[in-house]
Structure 1
Amino acid sequence: MTVAERPAWVDETLFPFESRFIDIDGNRIHYVDEGAGPVLLFLHGNPTWSFDYRNIIDELRRDFRCIAVDYPGFGLSSAGPGYRYRPAEHTRVVGAFVEALALRAVTLVAHDWGGPIGLATVQQHPEVFDRLVLTNTWAWPVGEPAVQIMSHVMGGPIGRLLIRQFNLFVNPMIPIGHRLNKPTSAEMAHYQMALDTPARREASAVFPREITASRAFLADVESGLPALAALPALIIWGDGDFAFGDKELRRWERALADHRTVIVDGAGHFVPSDAPEQFAAAIRDWHAAGGIVAYDAELAARVREFFADGPPVLEKAMFGGLAFLVAGRIAVAASSRGGLLVRVGAARAEQLVRTTAAEPMAMGERVMRGWVHVDGDHLRAGPALAEWIDIGIASAANA
């Protein structure tokens, strides 16, 4: 199936959205763009497509702009000649997509392979994204022997043949991955028809191999996670998943300082379609609560004045306050606690806490290594504020 327009098998009742298409780097990319408001960008995993988010989009489009994109070779998107369906390629396509649509202030919503692909996109386009929603995913090289064996078997000649000839990732895995709401035959048909020939299933067949073959890509995403740690994050976790469990959940909670976790009891791997009502409600509640940003506006204005004659800066709502990013990394932030959060680097933090008015920076009960908090009373003098901003700029440049 080479898709140039929406095919007749797409049910208007099950997928009640306008299908849009855009050409990116020789690929014909399908996406939906529904509603108005804060932007949510939905990225799918294997072997699904934007159809997996249909009920969430239908619920949230009254209050949000909901954009869901299909990677080349998935859903209603077509790959151009020479496309190899690797996660690094998908990342480049998603990056070009957000730039083509001139998206800003985006919340990434990512499941399964959408996690590493989406987070790599965030790392490469930090000016675009300001929040994260992650569900049953990962973003690091996998070392467990069982997973490596699965990758080599399912990503090898026999596994790829089974996927290509028998649609192995759709026919058994989709039902197994739904524990609360088993897909109907009509819903299953939308996953099956999207990968209706052996050639179309190549995209799905590549992903198992890439769990190990894309180790360098995953290592790069992992190394960039500290730069994203301060982004407000919502973790929606199905605790009945066959692929990701408590170990991965705890790792996300350690990695993301400003996070809220919502456990969906009994939900399987495909949480967005297995528990869409809970998923949509979690996003709505979290986004509403995060809309309250409190910080010292006068201090923020003084920081902004400093940067008027300094390096280019990007402002983002983070830490419940206002962060100032230089070259894509936070240098300082006007804190919701009052005062200033300053990036100082792990090597200097302890010394600065001992010898200055700075205190360790904490998010909840967790101390953030490489950061300090400076009370506003110690920043009244212009030179003191400038010194701390200079430290933050230098530390961001070396991060």
Structure 2
Amino acid sequence: MIKNLFTQSINPYRFPKILNWAKQGKYFNFDGYPIFYYDSSVADTTAISKPTLLLLHGYPTSSIDSLCMLDELQRRFRIIAPDYLGYGLSAKPISFAYSIFSQANMIEQLMSSLNLSQFHILAHDVGDTIAQELLARQIDRRQYIIQSTVFLNGGLFPEAHHPFIMMKLLKTPFIGAIIQYIVPRSLFASAINRVFGPTTKRSEQELNEITSLLFYNAPYNLLQQLQCYLNERITHRDRWVNAMNKVQTLDENPIPIRLIDGPFDPISGKHMVKRYREIIDKPDTRVLAENIGHYPNLEDPENTLRHFLDFHTSISA
């Protein structure tokens, strides 16, 4: 009953883009919860002969973010793009440990179910943190092989991450649930637009698509639970940051890494690039135009793709 108070009128399928995306996807069962994911091999019979690219989306969006670059990416890769638990078209249970470790477990099981033991990663925002945990697991267990990782804007180093006050309030128990319930979706949409560049902000319809997917089937306390990753970044900072350096120097299958960043981003823009260059050994970074914010994949897909594909050309060589 409580869950339905906020979600009863939300229907993301009324948007043609979302409906079409949903029709292209599949579902995977993770601990009894349906997880939505896109697999390009469903429509592309040649995909199984291509290297695999795992796309890890950001907060608070979903795998549909990949649409802007999808055609170009799947010419070269088999694309796997899941919605995490609590995001997009995946299950949003009212009581679940929405931790980075749980999301990483889900990714591992998904890739295992598809018999994919080697893959590249392109990650954004909270997807960066999930990718960091997967890199750390390469050092711990090496049950699969990550062949390379490209990060887009995200909180790779908590000391250089500047979340908005609203984000800090949302992760507070009880307060976060109240905010989710009483704040109009239009204000959430405005907050999302704050991280875009001055000339790349989303239209009203695009923001409605984002918030519809976010709140679709969402329990009253979803945002408070999802925001736990902000605390986890601090708690597990050394594990995740150290992994980024260690995996690049592994004796067997070293993992090359690149950061592509939109510098206008107030949360993880040029200040994050600066910290990256201080912390990471032999840092490989590419900074986009000054007007590009937190979503390079949406704001400047052409140049994001160029830097991404240049990276893959260089590591192939």
TM-score (norm. length: structure 1): 0.64
Calculate percent identity across the aligned residue pairs: 23
Amino acid across the alignment from 1:172? S
Residues 86, 226 of structure 2: 8 Å contact kept: no
Residue of structure 1 in register with 2:311 after alignment: 286
Amino acid across the alignment from 1:8? Y
Shift of residue 248 of structure 1? 1.9
Q: Structure 1 CA distance, aligned partners of 2:258 and 2:271? A: 17
Shift of residue 190 of structure 1? 1.9
Alignment counterpart, residue 182 of structure 1, candidates 175, 179, 201 = 201
CA RMSD of aligned residues (A): 3.1
Shift of residue 264 of structure 1? 1.1
Shift of residue 232 of structure 1? 1.4
Note the 1:1-399 alignment, pairs <5 A: 8-12=13-17, 18-34=24-40, 36=47, 37-80=50-93, 82-125=95-138, 126=142, 127-142=144-159, 152-156=168-172, 157-166=174-183, 167=185, 170-179=188-197, 180-196=199-215, 199-200=218-219, 202-212=221-231, 215-230=234-249, 231-257=255-281, 259-265=283-289, 266-292=291-317
Per the alignment, in what secondary structure is the counterpart of residue 298 of structure 2?
Answer: helix
Question: Where does structure 1 differ by over 6 angstroms across 4 or more consecutive aligned residues?
Answer: none
* Cα displacement string for residues 178-230 of structure 1 (whole angstroms, at most 9, x for unaligned residues): 22433233322321211235834643333434412563334432343332234
Task: Find the structure with the greater CA-based Rg.
Answer: 1
Shift of residue 173 of structure 1? 2.7
Amino acid across the alignment from 1:273? L
Counterparts in 2 of 1:14 and 1:24: CA distance versus 1, 3 Å: closer
Amino acid across the alignment from 2:57? H
Q: Structure 2 CA distance, aligned partners of 1:273 and 1:203? A: 25
The structure carrying a bigger helix percent of its residues is: 2
Residues 26, 81 of structure 1: 8 Å contact kept: no
Amino acid across the alignment from 1:20? K
Residues 12, 213 of structure 2: 8 Å contact kept: no
Shift of residue 169 of structure 1? 7.8
Higher relative contact order (CA 8 A, sep 6+): 2
Shift of residue 289 of structure 1? 2.5
Residues 160, 271 of structure 2: 8 Å contact kept: no
Counterparts in 2 of 1:281 and 1:143: CA distance versus 1, 3 Å: closer
Q: Structure 2 CA distance, aligned partners of 1:152 and 1:195? A: 18
Counterparts in 2 of 1:56 and 1:164: CA distance versus 1, 3 Å: farther
Amino acid across the alignment from 1:233? I
Counterparts in 2 of 1:98 and 1:252: CA distance versus 1, 3 Å: farther
Per the alignment, in what secondary structure is the counterpart of residue 236 of structure 2?
Answer: helix
Per the alignment, in what secondary structure is the counterpart of residue 218 of structure 2?
Answer: coil
* Cα displacement string for residues 345-377 of structure 1 (whole angstroms, at most 9, x for unaligned residues): xxxxxxxxxxxxxxxxxxxxxxxxxxxxxxxxx
Amino acid across the alignment from 1:154? L
Q: Where does structure 2 lack aligned partners over 5 or more consecutive residues?
A: 250-254
Q: Structure 2 CA distance, aligned partners of 1:217 and 1:121? A: 13
